Structure 1
Amino acid sequence: MRQEISLTVTDKAKAEFQRGMPLISKEALENADSLITEGAIVSLVDKQGKFLAKGYYGKQNKGYGWVLTRNKDEAIGQGFIERTLTAAIAERQNFFRNPNTTAFRVFNGEGDGFGGLAIDYYDGYYLLSWYSEGVYTFKDEVVEALQNVADFKGIYQKKRFDTKGQYIEEDDFVAGERGEFPLIVKENGVNFAVYLNDGAMTGIFLDQRDVRNAIKEKYAKGKTVLNTFSYTGAFSVAAALGGAEKTTSVDLAKRSSAKTIEQFSVNGIDYENQDILVMDVFNYFKYAKRKELKFDLVVLDPPSFARSKKYTFSTAKDYTSLMKEAIAITEKQGTIVASTNNASFGMKKFKGFIDKAFQEEGKKYRIVEEFTLPSDFRVRKEFKEGDYLKVLFVELV
């Protein structure tokens, strides 16, 4: 039996919940210390005891849990989850019908009504991502609900709430039939090799789909392209298929080389004609300056936080200096794709980082295009932090 608890909210938080705020933060609660059991159902009430909303307790980096309903009498169980999943799947029917894109987000946490849970679709396979111990207590109901409302080959999962920062999974497989990996999915006609059974990452970040397509269709033809923090080289693949003269992919992780070769190969691209370097990006900037290398298109999509032997990098503190490094090796009238998935600041502040970099370098620029999350990553207007992706195509003038 799931524990149920009543929590009193502050006067300030009361107004936010009435406006539709889905996140339950510690600061919003008068009696947060009474929360002990992850997964407990919480009823939020004001200081007069009037009901405001109902949700669950699940501690993650964003807060203490999520609002699920404003209906006092609505039970949070399999029936609720089935209705929520059915609505989300119905919203993505255009994606399901598109043979050129077979990987996308089906359920985006609070944007689809259940914060802390994301579900992605990979050509017949569903991948559940759990972001707290609290939401993971709903696993049985979610899996059964998904089996009842969706057609699928198999279901996999990722537990992303391990507090030690290490990804530990006994077995990613949950239900249906096991996949054969790599699984080849399509994105706007481009092939990508993905793994649902191999650690925290699958091999592609689905939220960058529109950005990759823009690079392929509008920015890459005849250009030299540098892809920093390149991971499995997805931006490089898009650029090569878009007619880039040459791509250079740089990432510190040893696995990145083999993974990037694989992504080129599944698209019939000769990877030996591309440069794939396992190297610290900051050391590469120094190397490129020393060799007087310049690129027409530079992709900057660093992790929010990264540490190497010599550097500690945080987008919130260091993006301006990273941008200055990129400006120095970008051709006149070249383009920098500046990207971050850090939810702790908005687009306005991100544009400020870019502007400061150009001012300090004494260069002029114009923003030619900007992107946030694609339409399958549904967000709520009451929770702007949910729209975490910020991408600017910045042209040197």
Structure 2
Amino acid sequence: MKPEVSIKVNEKFKADFAKGYPLITKESVENAEMLRVEGAILRLTDKQGQFIAKGYCGKQNKGFGWILTRNENEAIDQKFIKEKLAAALAKRQSFFSNQETTAFRVFNGEGDGFGGLTIDYFDGYYMLSWYSEGMYTFKADVIAALRELVEFKGIYQKKRFDTKGQYIEEDDFVAGERGEFPLIVKENGMNYAIYLNDGAMTGIFLDQRDVRNKIKEKYAKGKTVLNTFSYTGAFSVAAAIGGAAKTTSVDLAKRSSSKTIEQFSINNIDYESHDILVMDVFNYFKYAKRKELKFDMVILDPPSFARSKKYTFSTSKDYTNLMKEAIEITADAGVIVASTNSASFGMKKFKGFIDKAFKDLGKKYSIVEEFTLPSDFRVQKEFKEGDYLKVLFVKLQ
């Protein structure tokens, strides 16, 4: 039986919670010192003691917990979790029947009614990601509910927390049979190599599926493509399959080279006809300008925060300057795919970063495509921060 703690809501936040806002922050409650038992059930009331909502305590980023129900008599137990999972799975049925795409999200945290947990599907394997110690206390109930609802080859997990908010290394296998990795999954007919047993990353960011497909289907043919912060080269593979004349993948991580070669190889693409470079992206920009290189398409998908020996990059502070670097090596009428997964600002502000970069350089542009999260990454309209992905296809004029 989980402990239950009474929490008094700050009057300024009462209306937001009543309307459906799910994140419990330190500022939103009067007695924040009570938010210390990870996994405790929280009973939120106003100053007069009137019930508002129930949730749980789980410290995650800027939050201290998540609201789960506004029904005072509803128990937060395995039955509750099973109902949430069943509803989420029902909404993804079209994905399960699509043989061209065998990797997608089946449960997206607060978007599916239980913040702090995501579940991804990889061709018969399920991967659970726990984002707080509090959420992790529900592990037995979540796995039991999942076992009752789905057939699976295996279940893996990623614990994405510790006292400093960093990933904890441990055996990621949970149930079923261990997979043989790399596991090859399909995405709109393309192949991608996935590792569920190799630290925090799997090898592909599922939220960019629609963007990769658009590059493949509409923008890549006959083009030279620069993929910066390329990770395992997923965008490069999409461009190459879409008929790009040549792709150049640049990432500082040493393992990015072998991972990108692997992604090309499983798609029967000659990786030696493409450039795969392990170097600082900002140094590459300098190199490209010095060599007077121009690309028909430049893909910018940096991490929200990154640090190398010479540079520190923060999306909210530095994206405009990053965009300027890209503009200067993009060919006339070329396209820049500008992307960010930062939840700290919205699309309007992101567009402002792009606009300032072009104005500073005295150049004109048009936005020809705009993407947010794909449909399997369900979001809650009352929680705009949950729709974190922002992607713009920007055409130089």
* AA matched with 1:141: D
How is 1:64-213 mapped onto 2 (pairs within 5 angstroms)?
64-164=64-164, 166-213=166-213
User: After alignment, is 232-241 or 59-68 more displaced?
Assistant: 59-68
How is 1:308-323 mapped onto 2 (pairs within 5 angstroms)?
308-323=308-323
Residue deviations 1:266-314 (CA, integer Å, cap 9, x gap): 0000000000000000000000000000000000000000000000000
Query: Partners in 2 of 1:301 and 1:204 — Cα distance?
Result: 13
Aligned partners of 2:60 and 2:165 also within 8 Å: no
**Percent of aligned pairs sharing the same letter:** 79
Q: Are 2:290 and 1:307 equivalent residues in the alignment? A: no
* Structure 2 match to 1:215: 215
* AA matched with 2:56: Y
Residue deviations 1:225-260 (CA, integer Å, cap 9, x gap): 000000000000000000000000000000000000
Question: What is the CA-CA distance between 1:164 and the residue it aligns to?
Answer: 3.7
* Structure 1 match to 2:15: 15
Q: What SS is found at the alignment partner of 1:236?
A: helix
Aligned partners of 2:61 and 2:165 also within 8 Å: no
How is 1:234-383 mapped onto 2 (pairs within 5 angstroms)?
234-383=234-383
Residue deviations 1:147-173 (CA, integer Å, cap 9, x gap): 011111100000001234543322000
Structure 1 moving runs of 4+ over 4 Å: none
* AA matched with 2:135: V
* Structure 2 match to 1:5: 5
Q: What SS is found at the alignment partner of 1:343?
A: coil
Query: Partners in 1 of 2:384 and 2:165 — Cα distance?
Result: 26
How is 1:29-48 mapped onto 2 (pairs within 5 angstroms)?
29-48=29-48
Query: Partners in 2 of 1:310 and 1:287 — Cα distance?
Result: 15
Residue deviations 1:54-76 (CA, integer Å, cap 9, x gap): 00000010301101111101111
Question: What is the CA-CA distance between 1:35 and the residue it aligns to?
Answer: 2.0
Query: Partners in 2 of 1:25 and 1:164 — Cα distance?
Result: 18
* Structure 1 match to 2:230: 230
Aligned partners of 2:207 and 2:377 also within 8 Å: yes
Residue deviations 1:61-117 (CA, integer Å, cap 9, x gap): 030110111110111110000010000000000000000000000000000000000
Question: What is the CA-CA distance between 1:12 and the residue it aligns to?
Answer: 1.3
Query: Partners in 1 of 2:103 and 2:44 — Cα distance?
Result: 37
Question: What is the CA-CA distance between 1:135 and the residue it aligns to?
Answer: 0.2
Question: What is the CA-CA distance between 1:11 and the residue it aligns to?
Answer: 1.0
Aligned partners of 2:191 and 2:263 also within 8 Å: yes
* AA matched with 1:100: E
Aligned Cα root-mean-square deviation (Å): 0.7
Aligned partners of 2:101 and 2:186 also within 8 Å: yes
Aligned partners of 2:236 and 2:247 also within 8 Å: yes
Aligned partners of 2:161 and 2:168 also within 8 Å: no
Mark the CA change 1:164 to 1:45 in structure 2 (over 3 Å): closer, same or farther.
closer
Query: Partners in 1 of 2:117 and 2:298 — Cα distance?
Result: 33
* AA matched with 1:159: K
Query: Partners in 2 of 1:76 and 1:87 — Cα distance?
Result: 16
Q: What SS is found at the alignment partner of 2:327?
A: helix
Query: Partners in 2 of 1:355 and 1:166 — Cα distance?
Result: 34
* AA matched with 2:295: F
Q: What SS is found at the alignment partner of 1:288?
A: helix
Unaligned segments of structure 1, at least 5 residues: none
* AA matched with 1:129: S
* AA matched with 2:365: Y
Query: Partners in 1 of 2:164 and 2:274 — Cα distance?
Result: 37
* AA matched with 1:50: Q
Mark the CA change 1:376 to 1:294 in structure 2 (over 3 Å): closer, same or farther.
same
* TM-score, structure 2 normalization: 0.99
* TM-score, structure 1 normalization: 0.99
* AA matched with 2:234: A
Q: What SS is found at the alignment partner of 1:14?
A: helix
* Structure 2 match to 1:386: 386
Query: Partners in 2 of 1:132 and 1:62 — Cα distance?
Result: 12
